[in-house]
Structure 1
Amino acid sequence: MGHPDHGSTVLVTGVSRDLGQRCARTLAATPGVARVIGVDVVPPRGDLGEVSFVRADIRNPVIAKVIAKEDVDTVVHMSVISTPGSAGSRATMKELNVIGTMQLLAAAQSAPRLQRLVVKSTTTVYGASSRDPAMFTEDMEPRRQPRSGYAKDVAEIEGYVRGFARRRPDVTVTQLRCANVIGPRVQSPITSYFRLPVLPTVVGHDPRLQFLHEDDLLGVVRHATLRGPHGTFNVAGDGIVMLSQAVRRLQRPRVPLPAGAVGNLGSVLRQARVAEFSPEQLGLLTFGRGVDTTRMREVLGFHPRYTTAEAFADFASSLTPTGGHTVRLIDRATRLVESRPAALEPTGADRG
Structure 2
Amino acid sequence: MGKIVLVTGAARQLNGRFARHLRRDPGVDRVIAVDSAEPIHPLGDAEFVRADVRRPAIATVLAEHAVDTVVHLDIQDAPASAAGGGRAAVKEVNVLGTLQLLGACQRIPSLRRIIVKSSTRIYGGGGADPAVFDEDAPPALPAGGGFARDVAEIEEYVRGFARRRPDVAVTVLRFADVLGPLGESQLAGYFRLPVLPTLLGYDPRLQFVHEDDVLDVLSRAVVDPDRPGGLTAGTFNVAGDGVLMLSQAARRIGRVTLPLLPPLAPWVGSGLRAFGVAGISAEQFRSLVRGRVVRTDRLREAMGGPLEYTTAEAFADFAATHGPPVRPQAAVARAVERIEEVLRDG
**Do both share a fold (TM > 0.5)?**
yes
Q: Percent identity over the alignment?
A: 52
Structure-1 separation of matches of 2:138 and 2:11: 32
| Residues 115 and 273 of structure 1, relative CA distance in 2, 3 Å threshold | farther
Q: What code does the residue aligned with 2:340 have?
A: T
| Residues 189 and 327 of structure 1, relative CA distance in 2, 3 Å threshold | farther
- The correspondence of residues 99-178 of structure 1 with structure 2, limited to 5 A, is 99-142=96-139, 145-178=142-175
The structural deviation recorded for 1:327 is 5.4
3-state SS in 1 of match to 2:269? helix
The structural deviation recorded for 1:211 is 0.2
| Residues 166 and 236 of structure 1, relative CA distance in 2, 3 Å threshold | same
Q: How many residues align?
A: 334
Structure-2 separation of matches of 1:136 and 1:71: 38
For 1:288, the equivalent position in structure 2 comes to: 291
The structural deviation recorded for 1:30 is 1.4
Q: How does the TM-score come out when normalised to structure 1?
A: 0.90
- Range moving further from structure 2, 299-308 or 7-16: 299-308
User: Is 1:337 aligned to residue 343 of structure 2?
Assistant: yes
For 1:25, the equivalent position in structure 2 comes to: 20
3-state SS in 1 of match to 2:66? coil
User: Is 1:194 aligned to residue 198 of structure 2?
Assistant: no
Partners of 1:265 and 1:334 within 8 A in 2: no
| Unaligned 5+ runs, structure 1 | 1-5, 340-352
The structural deviation recorded for 1:303 is 2.9
- Range moving further from structure 2, 322-331 or 120-129: 322-331
For 2:217, the equivalent position in structure 1 comes to: 220
Partners of 1:151 and 1:280 within 8 A in 2: no
Query: Which residue of the other structure, out of 307, 318, 324, is the alignment partner of 1:320?
Result: 324
User: Is 1:277 aligned to residue 257 of structure 2?
Assistant: no
Partners of 2:209 and 2:314 within 8 A in 1: yes
Query: Which residue of the other structure, out of 34, 39, 43, is the alignment partner of 1:44?
Result: 39
User: Is 1:305 aligned to residue 308 of structure 2?
Assistant: yes
Structure-1 separation of matches of 2:30 and 2:139: 38
The structural deviation recorded for 1:27 is 0.7
Structure-1 separation of matches of 2:332 and 2:221: 41
Partners of 2:272 and 2:342 within 8 A in 1: no
Structure-1 separation of matches of 2:342 and 2:19: 44
Partners of 1:37 and 1:52 within 8 A in 2: yes
The structural deviation recorded for 1:285 is 1.4
**Backbone CA RMSD of aligned residues:** 1.8
Deviation sequence 1:7-54 (CA, Å, 0-9, x none): 100000000111111111111111201100000001100111101000
For 2:228, the equivalent position in structure 1 comes to: none
For 1:82, the equivalent position in structure 2 comes to: 77
Partners of 2:141 and 2:149 within 8 A in 1: no
Q: How does the TM-score come out when normalised to structure 2?
A: 0.91
Structure-2 separation of matches of 1:96 and 1:144: 19
Structure-2 separation of matches of 1:144 and 1:154: 10
| Unaligned 5+ runs, structure 2 | 226-230
Query: Which residue of the other structure, out of 215, 234, 237, is the alignment partner of 1:234?
Result: 237
The structural deviation recorded for 1:269 is 2.6
| Residues 146 and 214 of structure 1, relative CA distance in 2, 3 Å threshold | farther
Partners of 2:189 and 2:280 within 8 A in 1: no
The structural deviation recorded for 1:272 is 4.4
